[in-house]
A and B are shown apart, each in its own frame.
Chain A
Amino acid sequence: YNFSNCNFTSITKIYCNIIFHDLTGDLKGAKFEQIEDCESKPACLLKIEYYTLNPIPGCPSLPDKTFARRTREALNDHCPGYPETERNDGTQEMAQEVQNICLNQTSQILRLWYSFMQSPE
């Protein structure tokens, strides 16, 4: 799925009014170097979806966070044809939560949203 047919205006409103505040609330001012960037709105949504809805070692709970659920809802509602697939809840080695890993991942996601907002469609 390439996210080209998404309603970017609606997704922008949801991000500005809800998701942005959830992300900054979780971060509480923590700063990390930015790893990923993107140059267009479809490309940014592709990375945002990947980093938000897939658990990673040290942060299996990320897909269950508030901002993640709202991101999933926005994509489902405003990206025609977006497949809502079942996600792996993580294996045993992912069970342990590491705060710094979760914060870093959240920071990367927020910066991808910044790039989404600054990028053309």
Chain B
Amino acid sequence: AAAVTSRGDVTVVCHDLETVEVTWGSGPDHHGANLSLEFRYGTGALQPCPRYFLSGAGVTSGCILPAARAGLLELALRDGGGAMVFKARQRASAWLKPRPPWNVTLLWTPDGDVTVSWPAHSYLGLDYEVQHRESNDDEDAWQTTSGPCCDLTVGGLDPARCYDFRVRASPRAAHYGLEAQPSEWTAVTRLSGAASAASCTASPAPSPALAPPLLPLGCGLAALLTLSLLLAALRLRRVKDALLPCVPDPSGSFPGLFEKHHGNFQAWIADAQATAPPARTEEEDDLIHPKAKRVEPEDGTSLCTVPRPPSFEPRGPGGGAMVSVGGATFMVGDSGYMTL
């Protein structure tokens, strides 16, 4: 018989002699291609896997098939090209992993020992491990007591103290071989003597079940508080001024345009011209600027230009009238609107 084809990434587990689970990784040998599994018991025909499960990449990563307690199970795992990737032939029980013990009972005895008992599995060849430690001890502080089904006694305990207990089933190597593996541990059970029940409950181990409900509530409260603070801050003038952009007020540049004329620029221009200071007289010019001797050019053209009244203002490039007010020149379109 050929040696068992072995791959490091193929794992076979027989769960409680009920199902066989074969899993394989995405090894480099088959480049992520789908692998297919066939099996048979005894000398029957090879059957395809009844139930595959897929990896995140969408390719097969394992198979679950029924377990038989007798007869040889043959497994054949092939790649897409039909090449054998893994092959094995032995009893399914050789890959046994029992279910954890259930309905475990812990009782103090009058001698100060603890009796641990549980119902039997439906098959033989198992030993059981009972571990105990003082509550709140380190994770590695477990002490082990081993024995057959279906009860074990742990001695040397103090009823005044609190203890943690857990149990698991372990296949005997002489029954199933070296590939069989122990079950998972049961959940930890805390035990105290009658006199120390209060001290056990006073400092229970932190329960992970309590954390999830409190976390969303805390996050909600934090979010609500943050929102409240933000709304309060917006009410402050300084914060508002700092956060909101400043919109310029044109009323400062055009006094009376909005207050008096309600934005009517034409009326504002007319009013501005009416209130403009009158032209200076000749005497006023002498007071401000000394009168210069007039010199006429030889070609007869005049060097001075007399400003025309507003009604005779020259037309702008767009056809609108050019209006000068207070030193600023504007063009008023035919529609009456000012353009800069």
Binding site for B on A (CB under 8 A): 15-16, 20, 24, 29-35, 37, 39, 104, 108, 110-111, 113-115, 117-119
Known: A114-B175, A114-B177. A31 touches B6 (CB 8 A): yes
**Top 8 A-B residue pairs of the complex, sorted by shortest distance between their CB atoms:** A33-B89, A33-B1, A34-B90, A20-B174, A31-B4, A117-B175, A16-B174, A35-B1
**Per a CB cutoff under 8 Å, which of B87, B91, B123, B124 touches A34?**
B91
* Interchain CA distance A114-B93 in the complex, whole Å: 10
Chain B 24-63 interface 0/1 with A at a Cβ cutoff of 8 Å (1 = within): 0000000000000000000000000000000000000000
Residue of A nearest to B1 (CB): A33
Residue of A nearest to B96 (CB): A118
* Interchain CA distance A119-B125 in the complex, whole Å: 11
Q: Is the CB of A32 within 8 A of B173?
A: no
* Residues of A contacting B2 in the complex (Cβ-Cβ under 8 angstroms): 32-33
* Residues of A contacting B87 in the complex (Cβ-Cβ under 8 angstroms): 33
Residue of A nearest to B124 (CB): A118
Q: Is the CB of B4 within 8 A of A117?
A: no
Q: Is the CB of A33 within 8 A of B90?
A: yes
Q: Is the CB of B176 within 8 A of A114?
A: yes
Chain B 86-99 interface 0/1 with A at a Cβ cutoff of 8 Å (1 = within): 01111101100000
Q: Is the CB of B174 within 8 A of A33?
A: no
* Interchain CA distance A15-B175 in the complex, whole Å: 10
Q: Is the CB of A34 within 8 A of B93?
A: no
Q: Is the CB of B6 within 8 A of A20?
A: no
**Per a CB cutoff under 8 Å, which of A24, A31, A37, A114 touches B71?**
A37
Q: Is the CB of A15 within 8 A of B1?
A: no
* Interchain CA distance A30-B174 in the complex, whole Å: 16
Q: Is the CB of A32 within 8 A of B4?
A: yes
Residue of B nearest to A103 (CB): B3
Whole-angstrom distance between the Cβ of B94 and the nearest chain A Cβ:
7
Whole-angstrom distance between the Cβ of B6 and the nearest chain A Cβ:
7
Q: Is the CB of A33 within 8 A of B91?
A: no
**Per a CB cutoff under 8 Å, which of B1, B172, B174 touches A32?**
B1
Q: Is the CB of B72 within 8 A of A104?
A: no
Cβ of B267 within 8 Å of any chain A Cβ, yes or no, is no
* Residues of A contacting B70 in the complex (Cβ-Cβ under 8 angstroms): 37, 39, 118-119
**Per a CB cutoff under 8 Å, which of B89, B91, B175, B178 touches A24?**
B178
Whole-angstrom distance between the Cβ of A86 and the nearest chain B Cβ:
29
Residue of B nearest to A37 (CB): B72
Residue of A nearest to B178 (CB): A24
Q: Is the CB of A33 within 8 A of B3?
A: yes
Whole-angstrom distance between the Cβ of B84 and the nearest chain A Cβ:
13
Residue of A nearest to B176 (CB): A114
**Per a CB cutoff under 8 Å, which of A33, A39, A111, A115 touches B88?**
A33
* Residues of B contacting A35 in the complex (Cβ-Cβ under 8 angstroms): 1
**Per a CB cutoff under 8 Å, which of B3, B175, B178 touches A118?**
B175
Whole-angstrom distance between the Cβ of A104 and the nearest chain B Cβ:
6
* Interchain CA distance A104-B174 in the complex, whole Å: 18
Q: Is the CB of B89 within 8 A of A34?
A: yes
Known: A34-B72, A37-B91, A39-B70. A117 touches B125 (CB 8 A): yes
Residue of B nearest to A30 (CB): B3
* Interchain CA distance A29-B91 in the complex, whole Å: 17
* Interchain CA distance A36-B323 in the complex, whole Å: 117
Known: A15-B174, A20-B174, A24-B178. A114 touches B4 (CB 8 A): no
**Per a CB cutoff under 8 Å, which of A16, A30, A32, A114 touches B91?**
A114
* Interchain CA distance A43-B123 in the complex, whole Å: 20
Complex interface residues of chain B between 98 and 125 (CB less than 8 A to chain A): 123-125
